[in-house]
Structure 1
Amino acid sequence: MEWIKQTFGTIKPIIAMCHIRALPGDPFYEREGGMDRVVELARQDLMGLQNGGVDAVMFSNEFSLPYLTKVRPETTAAMARVIGELKRDIRIPFGVNVLWDPIASIDLAVATDASFIREIITGVYASDFGLWNTNVGQTIRHKTELGAHDLKILFNIVPEASAYLGDRDIIDIAKSTVFNNRPDALCVSGLTAGAETSSEVLSRVKDAVPETVVFCNTGCTVDNIERQLTIADGAVVGTTFKVDGKFDNLVDESRVRIFMDKVKRFRG
Protein backbone atom coordinates (compact mmCIF):
# COMPACT_ATOMS: atom_id res chain seq x y z
CA MET A 1 0.00 0.00 0.00
CA GLU A 2 2.87 2.40 0.73
CA TRP A 3 3.85 2.61 -2.91
CA ILE A 4 0.65 4.52 -3.73
CA LYS A 5 1.61 7.50 -1.57
CA GLN A 6 5.23 7.30 -2.73
CA THR A 7 4.28 7.23 -6.41
CA PHE A 8 1.31 9.59 -6.52
CA GLY A 9 1.86 11.78 -3.46
CA THR A 10 -1.64 11.09 -2.13
CA ILE A 11 -4.04 8.39 -1.01
CA LYS A 12 -6.93 7.39 -3.29
CA PRO A 13 -5.18 8.74 -6.44
CA ILE A 14 -6.99 9.55 -9.66
CA ILE A 15 -5.05 8.32 -12.72
CA ALA A 16 -6.39 10.15 -15.77
CA MET A 17 -6.27 8.61 -19.23
CA CYS A 18 -4.60 10.55 -22.03
CA HIS A 19 -6.06 8.74 -25.04
CA ILE A 20 -3.66 9.08 -27.96
CA ARG A 21 -5.37 9.37 -31.34
CA ALA A 22 -5.02 6.68 -34.03
CA LEU A 23 -1.40 6.10 -35.01
CA PRO A 24 0.44 5.08 -38.21
CA GLY A 25 -0.69 1.59 -39.14
CA ASP A 26 -4.06 1.99 -37.41
CA PRO A 27 -7.15 1.85 -39.65
CA PHE A 28 -8.40 5.27 -38.54
CA TYR A 29 -5.08 7.14 -38.65
CA GLU A 30 -5.60 10.61 -40.12
CA ARG A 31 -2.76 10.99 -42.58
CA GLU A 32 -3.57 14.58 -43.43
CA GLY A 33 -2.64 15.86 -39.99
CA GLY A 34 -0.06 13.14 -39.47
CA MET A 35 1.92 12.62 -36.29
CA ASP A 36 2.21 16.35 -35.66
CA ARG A 37 -1.56 16.47 -35.18
CA VAL A 38 -1.50 13.39 -32.92
CA VAL A 39 1.11 15.08 -30.70
CA GLU A 40 -0.80 18.36 -30.69
CA LEU A 41 -4.05 16.73 -29.53
CA ALA A 42 -2.25 14.63 -26.90
CA ARG A 43 -0.65 17.81 -25.54
CA GLN A 44 -4.03 19.52 -25.40
CA ASP A 45 -5.51 16.62 -23.42
CA LEU A 46 -2.48 16.41 -21.12
CA MET A 47 -2.66 20.08 -20.23
CA GLY A 48 -6.39 19.90 -19.58
CA LEU A 49 -5.91 16.93 -17.24
CA GLN A 50 -2.99 18.47 -15.38
CA ASN A 51 -4.59 21.89 -15.05
CA GLY A 52 -7.75 20.20 -13.82
CA GLY A 53 -5.82 18.69 -10.92
CA VAL A 54 -5.49 14.94 -11.57
CA ASP A 55 -2.86 13.02 -9.61
CA ALA A 56 -1.30 11.11 -12.52
CA VAL A 57 -1.79 10.46 -16.21
CA MET A 58 -1.63 7.28 -18.26
CA PHE A 59 -0.91 7.44 -21.99
CA SER A 60 -2.80 4.83 -23.99
CA ASN A 61 -3.37 4.13 -27.69
CA GLU A 62 -7.11 4.00 -27.07
CA PHE A 63 -7.94 4.94 -30.66
CA SER A 64 -5.94 2.08 -32.23
CA LEU A 65 -9.24 0.31 -32.91
CA PRO A 66 -9.68 -2.57 -33.52
CA TYR A 67 -7.02 -3.57 -31.00
CA LEU A 68 -4.23 -6.10 -31.44
CA THR A 69 -3.13 -8.42 -28.63
CA LYS A 70 0.43 -8.22 -29.99
CA VAL A 71 1.08 -4.75 -31.35
CA ARG A 72 3.37 -3.95 -34.24
CA PRO A 73 6.61 -2.00 -33.73
CA GLU A 74 5.31 1.18 -35.37
CA THR A 75 2.69 1.57 -32.63
CA THR A 76 5.21 1.50 -29.78
CA ALA A 77 7.56 3.77 -31.73
CA ALA A 78 4.80 6.30 -32.44
CA MET A 79 3.70 6.35 -28.79
CA ALA A 80 7.31 6.87 -27.71
CA ARG A 81 7.52 9.87 -30.03
CA VAL A 82 4.34 11.38 -28.57
CA ILE A 83 5.47 10.95 -24.97
CA GLY A 84 8.99 12.11 -25.79
CA GLU A 85 7.67 15.35 -27.25
CA LEU A 86 5.43 15.86 -24.22
CA LYS A 87 8.01 15.05 -21.54
CA ARG A 88 8.90 18.69 -20.88
CA ASP A 89 5.21 19.43 -20.22
CA ILE A 90 4.51 16.49 -17.88
CA ARG A 91 4.38 17.71 -14.27
CA ILE A 92 2.80 14.67 -12.60
CA PRO A 93 3.59 10.94 -12.41
CA PHE A 94 2.74 9.06 -15.61
CA GLY A 95 2.25 5.55 -16.85
CA VAL A 96 1.66 3.85 -20.20
CA ASN A 97 -0.64 1.22 -21.67
CA VAL A 98 -0.04 -0.22 -25.16
CA LEU A 99 -3.32 -1.99 -25.86
CA TRP A 100 -3.37 -4.99 -25.47
CA ASP A 101 0.30 -5.95 -25.25
CA PRO A 102 2.07 -6.12 -21.88
CA ILE A 103 5.51 -6.67 -23.41
CA ALA A 104 5.18 -3.55 -25.57
CA SER A 105 3.85 -1.65 -22.55
CA ILE A 106 6.97 -2.53 -20.57
CA ASP A 107 9.19 -1.58 -23.52
CA LEU A 108 7.48 1.81 -23.80
CA ALA A 109 7.65 2.39 -20.04
CA VAL A 110 11.37 1.74 -19.97
CA ALA A 111 11.99 3.96 -22.99
CA THR A 112 10.04 6.89 -21.52
CA ASP A 113 10.79 6.46 -17.77
CA ALA A 114 7.14 5.80 -16.95
CA SER A 115 6.31 4.87 -13.36
CA PHE A 116 3.67 2.22 -14.08
CA ILE A 117 1.83 0.22 -16.71
CA ARG A 118 -1.66 -1.25 -16.82
CA GLU A 119 -2.42 -4.32 -18.89
CA ILE A 120 -4.04 -7.73 -19.17
CA ILE A 121 -1.23 -9.80 -17.66
CA THR A 122 -2.93 -13.10 -16.75
CA GLY A 123 -5.70 -15.36 -18.00
CA VAL A 124 -7.21 -16.67 -21.22
CA TYR A 125 -10.31 -15.02 -22.67
CA ALA A 126 -12.98 -15.32 -25.34
CA SER A 127 -13.04 -11.78 -26.68
CA ASP A 128 -13.99 -9.43 -29.50
CA PHE A 129 -10.33 -9.78 -30.55
CA GLY A 130 -10.49 -13.57 -30.83
CA LEU A 131 -8.98 -16.08 -28.42
CA TRP A 132 -6.95 -13.88 -26.09
CA ASN A 133 -4.08 -15.56 -24.27
CA THR A 134 -1.38 -14.22 -21.97
CA ASN A 135 1.97 -15.35 -20.62
CA VAL A 136 2.57 -13.76 -17.24
CA GLY A 137 5.82 -15.62 -16.63
CA GLN A 138 7.31 -14.26 -19.84
CA THR A 139 5.99 -10.76 -19.11
CA ILE A 140 7.44 -10.47 -15.62
CA ARG A 141 10.75 -11.95 -16.75
CA HIS A 142 10.91 -9.37 -19.55
CA LYS A 143 10.46 -6.60 -16.97
CA THR A 144 13.28 -8.10 -14.90
CA GLU A 145 15.58 -8.51 -17.90
CA LEU A 146 15.17 -4.82 -18.75
CA GLY A 147 16.07 -3.84 -15.20
CA ALA A 148 12.69 -2.16 -14.62
CA HIS A 149 12.63 -3.13 -10.96
CA ASP A 150 10.74 -0.02 -9.83
CA LEU A 151 8.12 -0.18 -12.58
CA LYS A 152 4.69 -0.85 -11.05
CA ILE A 153 2.32 -3.20 -12.87
CA LEU A 154 -1.45 -2.78 -12.59
CA PHE A 155 -3.13 -6.10 -13.44
CA ASN A 156 -6.48 -5.68 -15.16
CA ILE A 157 -8.38 -8.79 -14.04
CA VAL A 158 -11.67 -7.94 -15.77
CA PRO A 159 -10.71 -7.30 -19.41
CA GLU A 160 -13.09 -5.20 -21.45
CA ALA A 161 -15.06 -6.84 -24.30
CA SER A 162 -14.17 -10.35 -23.13
CA ALA A 163 -15.02 -13.19 -20.78
CA TYR A 164 -12.73 -15.50 -18.83
CA LEU A 165 -12.38 -18.81 -20.68
CA GLY A 166 -13.46 -21.11 -17.89
CA ASP A 167 -15.99 -20.91 -15.11
CA ARG A 168 -14.01 -19.02 -12.47
CA ASP A 169 -15.45 -16.58 -9.96
CA ILE A 170 -13.86 -13.15 -9.79
CA ILE A 171 -12.83 -13.83 -6.19
CA ASP A 172 -10.94 -16.98 -7.20
CA ILE A 173 -9.26 -15.01 -9.97
CA ALA A 174 -8.27 -12.20 -7.60
CA LYS A 175 -6.88 -14.54 -4.96
CA SER A 176 -4.88 -16.71 -7.35
CA THR A 177 -3.56 -13.68 -9.23
CA VAL A 178 -2.27 -12.20 -5.99
CA PHE A 179 -0.79 -15.50 -4.75
CA ASN A 180 0.94 -16.44 -8.01
CA ASN A 181 2.04 -13.05 -9.32
CA ARG A 182 2.36 -10.50 -6.49
CA PRO A 183 0.75 -7.68 -8.53
CA ASP A 184 1.29 -4.09 -7.47
CA ALA A 185 -2.43 -3.50 -8.03
CA LEU A 186 -5.56 -5.12 -9.42
CA CYS A 187 -7.88 -3.17 -11.74
CA VAL A 188 -11.60 -3.99 -11.87
CA SER A 189 -13.49 -2.84 -14.97
CA GLY A 190 -16.86 -2.60 -16.66
CA LEU A 191 -17.67 -4.04 -20.08
CA THR A 192 -16.07 -1.25 -22.16
CA ALA A 193 -14.23 2.04 -21.73
CA GLY A 194 -16.58 4.37 -19.86
CA ALA A 195 -18.82 1.55 -18.60
CA GLU A 196 -19.42 1.73 -14.86
CA THR A 197 -17.57 -0.80 -12.72
CA SER A 198 -19.90 -2.75 -10.45
CA SER A 199 -19.49 -1.55 -6.87
CA GLU A 200 -20.55 -5.00 -5.69
CA VAL A 201 -17.79 -6.71 -7.71
CA LEU A 202 -15.28 -4.06 -6.64
CA SER A 203 -16.17 -4.64 -2.99
CA ARG A 204 -15.93 -8.42 -3.30
CA VAL A 205 -12.45 -8.16 -4.85
CA LYS A 206 -11.19 -5.74 -2.20
CA ASP A 207 -12.57 -7.91 0.62
CA ALA A 208 -10.89 -10.98 -0.90
CA VAL A 209 -7.43 -9.38 -1.16
CA PRO A 210 -7.41 -6.61 1.47
CA GLU A 211 -3.62 -6.22 1.46
CA THR A 212 -3.50 -5.61 -2.31
CA VAL A 213 -4.16 -2.28 -3.99
CA VAL A 214 -7.43 -2.36 -5.95
CA PHE A 215 -8.35 0.31 -8.50
CA CYS A 216 -11.73 1.07 -10.03
CA ASN A 217 -10.78 0.94 -13.70
CA THR A 218 -13.74 2.26 -15.72
CA GLY A 219 -16.94 4.24 -15.49
CA CYS A 220 -16.13 6.66 -12.68
CA THR A 221 -18.25 9.83 -12.80
CA VAL A 222 -18.71 12.86 -10.59
CA ASP A 223 -21.90 11.20 -9.31
CA ASN A 224 -20.37 7.85 -8.29
CA ILE A 225 -16.73 8.61 -7.48
CA GLU A 226 -17.24 9.00 -3.74
CA ARG A 227 -18.97 5.60 -3.57
CA GLN A 228 -16.27 3.93 -5.66
CA LEU A 229 -13.42 5.48 -3.64
CA THR A 230 -15.06 4.34 -0.42
CA ILE A 231 -14.25 0.83 -1.65
CA ALA A 232 -11.26 1.19 -3.98
CA ASP A 233 -7.74 2.47 -3.31
CA GLY A 234 -7.89 4.77 -6.34
CA ALA A 235 -9.38 5.05 -9.79
CA VAL A 236 -8.44 5.19 -13.46
CA VAL A 237 -10.62 7.79 -15.19
CA GLY A 238 -10.98 8.57 -18.89
CA THR A 239 -14.30 9.11 -20.62
CA THR A 240 -15.97 11.26 -17.96
CA PHE A 241 -13.22 13.89 -18.36
CA LYS A 242 -14.11 14.45 -22.02
CA VAL A 243 -16.42 16.99 -23.62
CA ASP A 244 -20.01 15.85 -22.91
CA GLY A 245 -18.57 12.70 -21.33
CA LYS A 246 -18.18 11.03 -24.72
CA PHE A 247 -15.30 8.68 -25.53
CA ASP A 248 -14.44 10.16 -28.94
CA ASN A 249 -14.10 13.73 -27.68
CA LEU A 250 -11.15 15.67 -26.28
CA VAL A 251 -10.66 16.49 -22.60
CA ASP A 252 -12.86 19.18 -21.04
CA GLU A 253 -10.76 20.89 -18.34
CA SER A 254 -13.83 22.21 -16.54
CA ARG A 255 -15.20 18.67 -16.14
CA VAL A 256 -11.83 17.54 -14.79
CA ARG A 257 -11.75 20.38 -12.27
CA ILE A 258 -15.28 19.72 -10.98
CA PHE A 259 -14.51 16.00 -10.62
CA MET A 260 -11.19 16.56 -8.85
CA ASP A 261 -12.65 19.18 -6.50
CA LYS A 262 -15.10 16.53 -5.32
CA VAL A 263 -12.33 13.94 -4.95
CA LYS A 264 -10.18 16.33 -2.93
CA ARG A 265 -13.07 17.14 -0.59
CA PHE A 266 -13.65 13.40 -0.14
CA ARG A 267 -9.98 12.77 0.61
CA GLY A 268 -9.67 15.80 2.84
Structure 2
Amino acid sequence: MSSLGDLFGVRKPVIAMLHFPALPGRPRHDRSGGEARLLDAVGSDLLVLQDAGVDGVLFCNEADLPYQLRVGPEIPAAMAAIIGELRRDLRVPYGVNVLWDAIASLALARATGARFIREVLTGVYESDLGMIEPRIGEIAGYRTAIGADDVLLFDNVQPEFASAIGSRSVADRARGAAFLGVDAILISGPAAGAALDMRHLAEAREAARDTPVIANTGVRAERIREIFSIADGVIVGTSLKVDGVTWNPVDPERARRLVDAAGQARSALPVG
Protein backbone atom coordinates (compact mmCIF):
# COMPACT_ATOMS: atom_id res chain seq x y z
CA MET A 1 0.00 0.00 0.00
CA SER A 2 2.93 2.32 -0.52
CA SER A 3 1.35 4.21 -3.45
CA LEU A 4 -0.77 6.44 -1.21
CA GLY A 5 2.06 7.08 1.21
CA ASP A 6 4.46 7.83 -1.63
CA LEU A 7 2.01 10.26 -3.23
CA PHE A 8 0.70 12.12 -0.20
CA GLY A 9 3.61 11.70 2.19
CA VAL A 10 1.39 10.67 5.08
CA ARG A 11 -0.30 7.56 6.41
CA LYS A 12 -4.06 7.53 5.71
CA PRO A 13 -4.36 10.78 3.73
CA VAL A 14 -7.29 13.19 3.82
CA ILE A 15 -8.18 14.11 0.23
CA ALA A 16 -10.60 17.03 0.03
CA MET A 17 -13.02 17.73 -2.80
CA LEU A 18 -12.79 20.89 -4.91
CA HIS A 19 -16.23 21.13 -6.49
CA PHE A 20 -16.58 23.23 -9.63
CA PRO A 21 -19.76 25.23 -10.15
CA ALA A 22 -21.66 24.08 -13.24
CA LEU A 23 -19.51 24.24 -16.35
CA PRO A 24 -20.27 25.58 -19.87
CA GLY A 25 -22.96 23.61 -21.65
CA ARG A 26 -24.57 22.30 -18.47
CA PRO A 27 -28.05 23.41 -17.32
CA ARG A 28 -26.88 25.18 -14.14
CA HIS A 29 -23.97 27.05 -15.71
CA ASP A 30 -23.77 30.74 -14.80
CA ARG A 31 -23.13 32.36 -18.18
CA SER A 32 -22.95 35.86 -16.76
CA GLY A 33 -20.33 34.84 -14.19
CA GLY A 34 -18.33 32.87 -16.73
CA GLU A 35 -14.76 31.80 -16.10
CA ALA A 36 -14.25 34.44 -13.41
CA ARG A 37 -16.90 32.87 -11.19
CA LEU A 38 -15.45 29.39 -11.68
CA LEU A 39 -11.96 30.59 -10.80
CA ASP A 40 -13.14 32.51 -7.75
CA ALA A 41 -15.21 29.63 -6.35
CA VAL A 42 -12.63 26.89 -6.85
CA GLY A 43 -9.67 29.09 -5.95
CA SER A 44 -11.26 30.25 -2.70
CA ASP A 45 -12.01 26.68 -1.62
CA LEU A 46 -8.48 25.59 -2.52
CA LEU A 47 -6.91 28.20 -0.25
CA VAL A 48 -9.21 27.31 2.66
CA LEU A 49 -8.53 23.58 2.32
CA GLN A 50 -4.76 23.96 2.06
CA ASP A 51 -4.69 26.32 5.03
CA ALA A 52 -6.66 23.72 7.01
CA GLY A 53 -3.95 21.15 6.27
CA VAL A 54 -5.55 18.59 3.96
CA ASP A 55 -3.15 16.10 2.36
CA GLY A 56 -4.50 16.31 -1.18
CA VAL A 57 -7.36 17.70 -3.26
CA LEU A 58 -9.61 16.31 -5.98
CA PHE A 59 -11.08 18.62 -8.64
CA CYS A 60 -14.56 17.50 -9.75
CA ASN A 61 -17.43 18.84 -11.89
CA GLU A 62 -19.88 18.02 -9.09
CA ALA A 63 -22.48 20.64 -10.08
CA ASP A 64 -22.89 19.42 -13.67
CA LEU A 65 -26.28 17.86 -12.98
CA PRO A 66 -27.70 15.81 -14.54
CA TYR A 67 -24.46 13.89 -15.00
CA GLN A 68 -23.29 12.38 -18.29
CA LEU A 69 -21.56 9.08 -18.98
CA ARG A 70 -19.65 10.72 -21.85
CA VAL A 71 -18.93 14.43 -21.72
CA GLY A 72 -18.24 16.89 -24.50
CA PRO A 73 -14.81 18.48 -24.92
CA GLU A 74 -16.03 21.71 -23.33
CA ILE A 75 -16.10 20.10 -19.86
CA PRO A 76 -12.45 19.00 -19.48
CA ALA A 77 -11.39 22.10 -21.43
CA ALA A 78 -13.05 24.40 -18.89
CA MET A 79 -11.65 22.41 -15.97
CA ALA A 80 -8.16 22.47 -17.47
CA ALA A 81 -8.32 26.24 -17.89
CA ILE A 82 -9.18 26.77 -14.21
CA ILE A 83 -6.71 24.20 -12.89
CA GLY A 84 -4.02 25.79 -15.04
CA GLU A 85 -4.71 29.16 -13.43
CA LEU A 86 -4.47 27.60 -9.97
CA ARG A 87 -1.38 25.43 -10.42
CA ARG A 88 0.94 28.04 -8.95
CA ASP A 89 -1.20 28.03 -5.78
CA LEU A 90 -1.32 24.24 -5.37
CA ARG A 91 0.79 22.99 -2.46
CA VAL A 92 -0.57 19.43 -2.23
CA PRO A 93 -0.97 16.52 -4.67
CA TYR A 94 -4.14 16.79 -6.74
CA GLY A 95 -6.38 14.57 -8.79
CA VAL A 96 -9.28 15.06 -11.20
CA ASN A 97 -12.71 13.51 -11.67
CA VAL A 98 -14.88 14.24 -14.73
CA LEU A 99 -18.22 12.69 -13.86
CA TRP A 100 -18.65 9.92 -15.16
CA ASP A 101 -16.15 9.75 -17.98
CA ALA A 102 -12.86 7.98 -17.27
CA ILE A 103 -11.31 8.82 -20.65
CA ALA A 104 -12.02 12.53 -20.14
CA SER A 105 -10.57 12.31 -16.63
CA LEU A 106 -7.35 10.76 -17.92
CA ALA A 107 -7.02 13.37 -20.67
CA LEU A 108 -7.55 16.13 -18.11
CA ALA A 109 -5.00 14.59 -15.75
CA ARG A 110 -2.42 14.40 -18.53
CA ALA A 111 -3.03 18.02 -19.49
CA THR A 112 -2.90 19.45 -15.96
CA GLY A 113 -0.31 17.30 -14.19
CA ALA A 114 -2.86 15.65 -11.90
CA ARG A 115 -1.53 12.61 -10.08
CA PHE A 116 -4.69 10.49 -9.92
CA ILE A 117 -8.23 10.14 -11.23
CA ARG A 118 -11.37 8.93 -9.50
CA GLU A 119 -13.88 7.02 -11.63
CA VAL A 120 -15.92 3.84 -11.93
CA LEU A 121 -13.36 1.72 -13.76
CA THR A 122 -14.54 -1.89 -13.34
CA GLY A 123 -17.82 -3.78 -13.12
CA VAL A 124 -21.27 -3.04 -14.53
CA TYR A 125 -23.88 -0.96 -12.68
CA GLU A 126 -27.48 0.11 -13.13
CA SER A 127 -27.74 3.74 -12.11
CA ASP A 128 -29.92 6.83 -12.19
CA LEU A 129 -27.88 7.84 -15.26
CA GLY A 130 -28.37 4.57 -17.14
CA MET A 131 -26.03 1.61 -17.38
CA ILE A 132 -22.46 2.31 -16.28
CA GLU A 133 -20.23 -0.06 -18.25
CA PRO A 134 -16.56 0.93 -17.99
CA ARG A 135 -13.99 -1.08 -19.90
CA ILE A 136 -10.84 -1.14 -17.81
CA GLY A 137 -8.74 -2.61 -20.61
CA GLU A 138 -9.52 0.30 -22.93
CA ILE A 139 -9.05 2.82 -20.11
CA ALA A 140 -5.66 1.39 -19.16
CA GLY A 141 -4.61 1.28 -22.81
CA TYR A 142 -5.59 4.92 -23.30
CA ARG A 143 -3.59 5.88 -20.22
CA THR A 144 -0.51 4.30 -21.78
CA ALA A 145 -1.20 5.78 -25.23
CA ILE A 146 -1.23 9.37 -23.92
CA GLY A 147 1.81 8.90 -21.69
CA ALA A 148 -0.11 8.98 -18.42
CA ASP A 149 1.06 5.74 -16.81
CA ASP A 150 2.09 7.75 -13.75
CA VAL A 151 -1.54 8.80 -13.16
CA LEU A 152 -2.99 6.57 -10.44
CA LEU A 153 -6.40 4.95 -10.99
CA PHE A 154 -8.85 5.24 -8.07
CA ASP A 155 -11.73 2.83 -8.78
CA ASN A 156 -15.14 3.36 -7.18
CA VAL A 157 -16.45 -0.20 -6.85
CA GLN A 158 -19.50 0.88 -4.81
CA PRO A 159 -20.61 4.00 -6.70
CA GLU A 160 -23.27 6.46 -5.59
CA PHE A 161 -26.74 6.33 -7.17
CA ALA A 162 -25.99 2.85 -8.54
CA SER A 163 -26.23 -0.88 -7.88
CA ALA A 164 -24.01 -3.62 -9.24
CA ILE A 165 -25.50 -5.89 -11.87
CA GLY A 166 -25.38 -9.58 -10.97
CA SER A 167 -24.50 -11.38 -7.77
CA ARG A 168 -20.88 -10.34 -7.18
CA SER A 169 -20.31 -8.98 -3.69
CA VAL A 170 -18.36 -5.88 -2.70
CA ALA A 171 -15.50 -8.21 -1.77
CA ASP A 172 -15.62 -9.88 -5.19
CA ARG A 173 -15.56 -6.54 -6.98
CA ALA A 174 -12.71 -5.23 -4.82
CA ARG A 175 -10.70 -8.40 -5.36
CA GLY A 176 -11.25 -8.21 -9.11
CA ALA A 177 -10.32 -4.54 -9.31
CA ALA A 178 -7.11 -5.18 -7.38
CA PHE A 179 -6.24 -8.06 -9.71
CA LEU A 180 -6.81 -5.82 -12.74
CA GLY A 181 -4.28 -3.34 -11.44
CA VAL A 182 -6.15 -0.30 -10.12
CA ASP A 183 -4.16 1.77 -7.64
CA ALA A 184 -6.88 2.30 -5.02
CA ILE A 185 -10.38 1.01 -4.37
CA LEU A 186 -13.17 3.35 -3.25
CA ILE A 187 -16.26 2.50 -1.21
CA SER A 188 -19.20 4.92 -1.21
CA GLY A 189 -22.58 5.35 0.39
CA PRO A 190 -25.79 5.73 -1.65
CA ALA A 191 -25.23 9.44 -2.44
CA ALA A 192 -22.70 12.24 -2.13
CA GLY A 193 -22.11 12.90 1.56
CA ALA A 194 -24.09 9.83 2.65
CA ALA A 195 -22.65 7.44 5.22
CA LEU A 196 -21.09 4.31 3.78
CA ASP A 197 -21.68 0.81 5.11
CA MET A 198 -18.72 -0.05 7.33
CA ARG A 199 -19.24 -3.73 6.55
CA HIS A 200 -18.62 -3.02 2.88
CA LEU A 201 -15.49 -1.08 3.77
CA ALA A 202 -14.21 -4.00 5.85
CA GLU A 203 -15.06 -6.55 3.15
CA ALA A 204 -13.22 -4.53 0.51
CA ARG A 205 -10.22 -3.99 2.79
CA GLU A 206 -9.86 -7.73 3.40
CA ALA A 207 -10.34 -8.67 -0.26
CA ALA A 208 -8.08 -5.99 -1.75
CA ARG A 209 -4.97 -7.24 0.06
CA ASP A 210 -2.13 -4.85 -0.88
CA THR A 211 -4.30 -2.37 -2.80
CA PRO A 212 -5.36 0.65 -0.70
CA VAL A 213 -9.05 1.08 0.14
CA ILE A 214 -10.45 4.59 0.55
CA ALA A 215 -13.71 5.77 2.13
CA ASN A 216 -15.35 7.91 -0.57
CA THR A 217 -18.45 9.39 1.10
CA GLY A 218 -19.89 10.08 4.55
CA VAL A 219 -16.59 11.13 6.12
CA ARG A 220 -17.12 13.43 9.11
CA ALA A 221 -14.87 14.55 11.95
CA GLU A 222 -16.76 12.51 14.52
CA ARG A 223 -16.41 9.31 12.43
CA ILE A 224 -12.83 9.62 11.25
CA ARG A 225 -11.35 7.44 13.98
CA GLU A 226 -13.81 4.63 13.18
CA ILE A 227 -13.17 4.94 9.44
CA PHE A 228 -9.39 5.03 9.85
CA SER A 229 -9.57 1.76 11.79
CA ILE A 230 -10.28 0.14 8.40
CA ALA A 231 -9.67 2.52 5.50
CA ASP A 232 -6.29 3.55 4.12
CA GLY A 233 -7.47 7.09 3.44
CA VAL A 234 -10.56 9.23 2.91
CA ILE A 235 -12.09 11.48 0.28
CA VAL A 236 -14.29 14.15 1.85
CA GLY A 237 -16.43 16.94 0.47
CA THR A 238 -19.91 17.59 1.80
CA SER A 239 -19.07 17.59 5.51
CA LEU A 240 -16.50 20.36 4.92
CA LYS A 241 -19.05 22.73 3.38
CA VAL A 242 -21.00 25.52 5.06
CA ASP A 243 -23.96 23.89 6.86
CA GLY A 244 -22.85 20.52 5.46
CA VAL A 245 -24.47 21.27 2.07
CA THR A 246 -22.61 19.92 -0.97
CA TRP A 247 -23.11 23.02 -3.13
CA ASN A 248 -21.91 25.53 -0.53
CA PRO A 249 -18.36 26.90 -0.15
CA VAL A 250 -15.90 25.16 2.17
CA ASP A 251 -16.29 26.17 5.83
CA PRO A 252 -12.82 26.88 7.31
CA GLU A 253 -13.84 25.69 10.78
CA ARG A 254 -15.33 22.42 9.50
CA ALA A 255 -12.20 21.79 7.44
CA ARG A 256 -9.86 22.44 10.38
CA ARG A 257 -11.97 20.28 12.67
CA LEU A 258 -11.80 17.30 10.32
CA VAL A 259 -8.06 17.65 9.70
CA ASP A 260 -7.43 17.89 13.45
CA ALA A 261 -9.60 14.82 14.08
CA ALA A 262 -7.71 12.92 11.38
CA GLY A 263 -4.39 13.82 13.00
CA GLN A 264 -5.59 12.60 16.37
CA ALA A 265 -6.91 9.39 14.83
CA ARG A 266 -3.58 8.73 13.11
CA SER A 267 -1.73 9.27 16.38
CA ALA A 268 -3.85 6.58 18.01
CA LEU A 269 -3.12 3.99 15.30
CA PRO A 270 -0.74 1.10 15.97
CA VAL A 271 2.75 1.66 14.63
CA GLY A 272 3.46 -0.16 11.37
What TM-score do the two structures reach when normalised by structure 2?
0.96
Distance 1:4 1:167 in 2: 30
Which position in structure 1 is the counterpart of 2:148?
Answer: 148
Distance 1:132 1:186 in 2: 17
Which position in structure 2 is the counterpart of 1:219?
Answer: 218
1:262 lines up with 2:261 in the alignment = yes
Residue ranges of structure 2 left out of the alignment (5+ in a row): 268-272
> Secondary structure of 2:221's match?
coil
Distance 1:131 1:209 in 2: 25
1:252 lines up with 2:251 in the alignment = yes
Q: How big is the shift at 1:4?
A: 1.4
Verify the 8 A CA contact 2:175 2:207 in the aligned structure 1. yes
1:232 lines up with 2:228 in the alignment = no
What residue identity is the alignment partner of 1:170?
V
Note the alpha carbon deviations across 1:68-108, whole angstroms, 9 max, x for none. Answer: 01111000100001101111111111000000000000000
Identical pairs, percent = 45
Distance 2:17 2:159 in 1: 17
> Secondary structure of 1:231's match?
coil
Q: How big is the shift at 1:210?
A: 2.4
What residue identity is the alignment partner of 1:257?
R
Equivalenced residue count is 267
Matches within 5 A, 1:104-253: 104-179=104-179, 181-253=180-252
Distance 1:118 1:207 in 2: 21
What TM-score do the two structures reach when normalised by structure 1?
0.98
Which position in structure 1 is the counterpart of 2:48?
Answer: 48
Q: How big is the shift at 1:128?
A: 0.5
Which position in structure 2 is the counterpart of 1:86?
Answer: 86
Structure 1 stretch displaced more, 136-145 or 170-179: 170-179
Verify the 8 A CA contact 2:222 2:261 in the aligned structure 1. no
Verify the 8 A CA contact 2:224 2:265 in the aligned structure 1. no
Distance 2:57 2:47 in 1: 10
Distance 2:118 2:131 in 1: 20
Distance 2:208 2:125 in 1: 22
Which position in structure 2 is the counterpart of 1:59?
Answer: 59
Give the alignment's Cα RMSD to 1 decimal: 0.9
Distance 2:208 2:165 in 1: 22
Q: How big is the shift at 1:137?
A: 0.8
Distance 1:187 1:126 in 2: 18
Consecutive aligned runs of 4 or more in structure 1 exceeding 3 Å deviation: none
Structure 1 stretch displaced more, 127-136 or 8-17: 127-136
Structure 1 stretch displaced more, 144-153 or 105-114: 144-153
Distance 2:66 2:84 in 1: 25
Distance 2:202 2:148 in 1: 31
Residue ranges of structure 1 left out of the alignment (5+ in a row): none
Note the alpha carbon deviations across 1:168-201, whole angstroms, 9 max, x for none. Answer: 211111112222x111110000011101111111
